[in-house]
Every structure is written in C-alpha cells, then in structure tokens.
Amino acid sequence: MFPKLDPILHSELRLAVMSILAGADEADFTYLKKQTGATSGNLSVQIDKLTTAGYITVEKGFKGKMPRTTCKITLAGQNAFSSYVEALKEFLSAGNVR
Amino acid sequence: MEQNKEMTAQESLQLISESFNKSRKDILRNSAKYFVLWGALLTVTSLAIYLLWHLTGKPQWNFLWFVMPVIGYPLAALIGKHNKTIPQNEVSKMLGGVWSVFGAFAITLSAIAVSLVPMHVTLIIVIIMGLAECMSGVLLKNWPIIIAGFLLGVGGAVFAILVKSEAQLLVFTLGGVLLLVTGLIMKLQYK
C-alpha cells in the first residue's frame, strides 16, 4: 500500500524546490526558476505554500541595486523532506513499483 | 514543471535525485572556476618571477608575489558577481574556507619573512599548499586530488630543501598546474 505522503511535498514543483534547497545553503528565486523551468507566477505560488507550511523561509533584499528573493529550507522542512524520502524508499523496497 | 501532476514513488525519487544532483553539480562546477583562476595565476606568476630572477640575478623580483592577490581577488570577485545566482553548499563553503585560510597564511608569512623574521617561506608555503590541496580532495571525495596534494606537500618540501635560489620557484609552478588540473577535474566530474 502506498504510504501516506506529505501533500505539501507530493507535488512536482514543490518537491523540486525542496530537493534543490536540501542540497544548498540557500537559493535565490532566479536560480530556482531556471532549475525547475517553472513560470515566475507558478513558482511564487508554490514557494508561498512551502513558506506557509513552515518548510522554507523567504528573505527579500537587494544584492547591489538588484532585488533578490532568497529561499532557505528550515529544520521542519528538512525533517519533512527526510520523512518523505524515507516513506518513498520504504514503499519501493516493499516491492511496489508505483 | 507542473505542480499538480500525480507522481509515482519512482518518479518522485527520480525527481529528488535529479534536482539535488543538478544543483550540487552547478555549485561545484562554479567552485572549479576559482581553482582554474588561482592555478593559472600561480603558474604564470611563479614562472615569470623564476625567469626574471634567472635572467637578471636579482631576487627582488620576488616582490611580484604581492601582485598576485591584487590581480586575483578582483578577478575572483568578478567571477562571483557573474555567477551570483548559483548557491553555495557545505562543500563549496568549506573549499572556500580552506583556500582563504591558506591565502591568509601565505600572505602573512611572506610579509613577515620579508620585513621582520627571515624564514624558509617556500618550504612552509609548499607544505600548507599541499595540505590545502589534500583537504580539497577529501572534501570532493577525489583520490587523485588527495594524492596530488600529498605529493605536492611532501615532494615540494624535499625539493625546497634540496634546491637553492630561483629554482625553488618551480615548486610553485607545479602547485599552480596542480590547482589548474584540480579545477579541470572538477569541471569534468560535475559536468
């Protein structure tokens, strides 16, 4: 049986964002957009959802004269991400393919 | 990328793995540029000083070493500015830390040796350079870089003791080539 997965993470774009942030200290919006190939609007919505869930923090600032939005994974986000990966591995190791 | 696509367990794991590895490669490929920059600069500077010293017989050409950070740091800042969206991870930060500490030791000891207490700077710097290269290899989990760093530190130390005057500078040329090669290995490894 497919384990109960975190609905916040079980979405293609949000999962991609979390995977990038899990491997980096922080990433800015432009980088996430380029890596995921998402539109600015869609990415903003998904980032808001992750922020509301407490999985990431968003900091708006400037680098030089350019505005910069930086996203960073929180401890709660790291824990949720680890649990999600563990659940997937458990499911697959039980011989399931879907 | 769609946010509502129903993913299978395999697709989810594949997405995680791809996204994670892609950003890791970006980060480490970016770090490689600094190895190439400092490697090229060290090779050119050491060779230039060696040739000038050899041709004129004047060790004062060693003051050109202080030009290296003057050129290198602004160029490194330029690379950083150009790639400002690429994030950092623990490995890239530690690599930066290891080489910044090496730079601080090398510049300070050289300045002290020139102005206050004469010492065998080549010997000291080649040992800490080999150590920094070894540490880089450990962080990158790359055995050829670890071995090259070890050989540079140990072999360079022996070379620095056995060889006199300007010929000692060639150990830094070797170190520069090693940094360049490390950068190129990283570029290939994280292509």
- pTM comes to 0.80
Give the span between the Cα atoms of A54 and B175, in whole angstroms.
47
Give the span between the Cα atoms of B20 and A98, in whole angstroms.
22
CB contact under 8 A, B13 and A92: yes
Give the span between the Cα atoms of B59 and B62, in whole angstroms.
6
Give the span between the Cα atoms of B157 and B94, in whole angstroms.
25
Given a contact cutoff of 8 angstroms between Cβ atoms, the answer to whether B15 and A19 are in contact is yes
Closest-CA residue of B relative to A86 is: B13
What's the whole-number mean pLDDT along residues B36-48? 94
With beta carbons under 8 A apart, name residues in chain B contacting A4.
none
What's the whole-number mean pLDDT along residues B41-55? 95
What's the whole-number mean pLDDT along residues B179-191? 88
First to last CA, chain B: 23
Enumerate domains of chain A plus CATH numbers.
26-85 (1.10.10.10)
Q: In what order do the strands lie in the sheet with A56-63?
A: A27-28, A66-73, A56-63
**Under an 8 Å CB criterion, which residues of A touch B?**
2, 10-16, 19-20, 22-28, 30-31, 34-38, 42, 45-46, 63, 84-85, 88-89, 91-92, 96-98
pLDDT beyond 60 at B187: yes
What's the whole-number mean pLDDT along residues B88-114? 90
pLDDT for the residue A3: 61
Give the span between the Cα atoms of B51 and B64, in whole angstroms.
12
Min distance A57 CA to chain B CA atoms (Å): 15
Give the span between the Cα atoms of B128 and A80, in whole angstroms.
42
Short-list A2, A64, A74, A59, CA closest to A29: A59
| pLDDT-derived band at B3, boundaries 50, 70, 90 | low
With beta carbons under 8 A apart, name residues in chain A contacting B18.
19
CB contact under 8 A, B7 and A23: no
Given a contact cutoff of 8 angstroms between Cβ atoms, the answer to whether A71 and A61 are in contact is no
Given a contact cutoff of 8 angstroms between Cβ atoms, the answer to whether A70 and A59 are in contact is yes
With beta carbons under 8 A apart, name residues in chain A contacting B3.
11-14, 42, 45-46
| pLDDT-derived band at A96, boundaries 50, 70, 90 | low
More confident of the two residues B68 and B3:
B68
Give the span between the Cα atoms of B144 and B149, in whole angstroms.
9
Lowest mean pLDDT among A93-97, B64-68, B99-103, B182-186: A93-97
Interchain contact B86–A (C-beta under 8 A): yes
- Burial string for A40-78 (b: 16+ CB within 10 Å, else e) reads eeebeebbebbeebebbeeeeeeeeeeeeebbebbeebe
Q: Is residue A59 within a helix (H) or strand (E), and if so which, with residue range?
A: strand A56-63
Report percent pLDDT > 90 for chain A. Answer: 65
pLDDT beyond 70 at B93: yes
Short-list B170, B106, B178, B189, CA closest to B146: B178
In 3-state terms, what secondary structure has residue B103? helix
Q: Residue with structure tokens 């808001």?
A: A48
pLDDT for the residue B2: 56
Lowest mean pLDDT among A49-53, B4-8, B27-31, B169-173: B4-8
What's the whole-number mean pLDDT along residues B48-74? 92
Q: Is residue B54 within a helix (H) or strand (E), and if so which, with residue range?
A: helix B9-56
Give the span between the Cα atoms of A32 and A27, in whole angstroms.
7
pLDDT, one tens digit per residue, over B137-147 is 899 888 888 99
Given a contact cutoff of 8 angstroms between Cβ atoms, the answer to whether B30 and B93 are in contact is no
Min distance A63 CA to chain B CA atoms (Å): 9
Give the span between the Cα atoms of A74 and B29, in whole angstroms.
26
Of B3, B23, B90, the CB nearest to A46: B3
Give the span between the Cα atoms of B175 and B159, in whole angstroms.
12
What's the whole-number mean pLDDT along residues B149-165? 91
Of B7, B84, B90, the CB nearest to A12: B7
pLDDT for the residue B5: 66
**ipTM of this complex:** 0.82
